[in-house]
Amino acid sequence: MTIEQKEPALGILKWVALTFLIVTVLITLVFFAWWGMRERFVFDDQPFSQVRWMAPHSENSPLCDRGDMVRDLKNRLLKQGMGKNQVTMLLGRPDWEEPHQLEYELGICLWVVHGLRLYFNDQDHLISTAIIQH
């Protein structure tokens, strides 16, 4: 193979590599943008209602009924330092409990079962919250 024959092959290889790099960067940017805003995409922004939260799930209930209220709950009502008793008075009995964690089922939101996990310190004060997938 002569030098003249190698140069077009290298030019094509450079374009393929550059195209792959650009596509990879774009996919990465889209993924991290979605990851940073995923709660806004998955959960609605309805105001928290203690009655709706504690109502038993029925066939007529939306699949993500609690999930639709979770953003308001996290942003407005659950504050660091709240006692575990205050949280259970607000949200009722948890669906899962360990000494320093409580979890409330949110429902099936975007085809996945989600839960609101609350973390407490040794004095039973709220230190953080997280939405988890099961």
pLDDT tens digits along 17-57: 999 999 999 999 888 876 666 666 678 789 999 999 998 87
CA distance 103 to 93: 9
pLDDT tens digits along 77-130: 999 999 999 999 999 999 999 999 999 999 888 888 999 999 999 999 999 999
Q: In sequence order, what are the beta bridge partners of 126?
A: 120
Q: Give me the pLDDT at residue 4, please.
A: 57
How many other CB atoms are there within 10 angstroms of residue 33's CB atom? 10
pLDDT tens digits along 63-73: 888 999 999 99
Q: Give me the pLDDT at residue 37, please.
A: 67
Q: Give me the pLDDT at residue 57, please.
A: 76
Q: In sequence order, what are the beta bridge partners of 116?
A: 104, 131
Q: Give me the pLDDT at residue 110, please.
A: 81
CA 106 to chain centroid, in Å, comes to 11
CA distance 134 to 130: 13
Global pTM exceeds 0.85 = no
Q: Give me the pLDDT at residue 1, please.
A: 55
Cα angle 115-49-121, degrees, rounded to a multiple of 5: 45
The sign of the torsion formed by the CA atoms of 72, 123, 55, 104 equals: positive
Q: Give me the pLDDT at residue 32, please.
A: 81
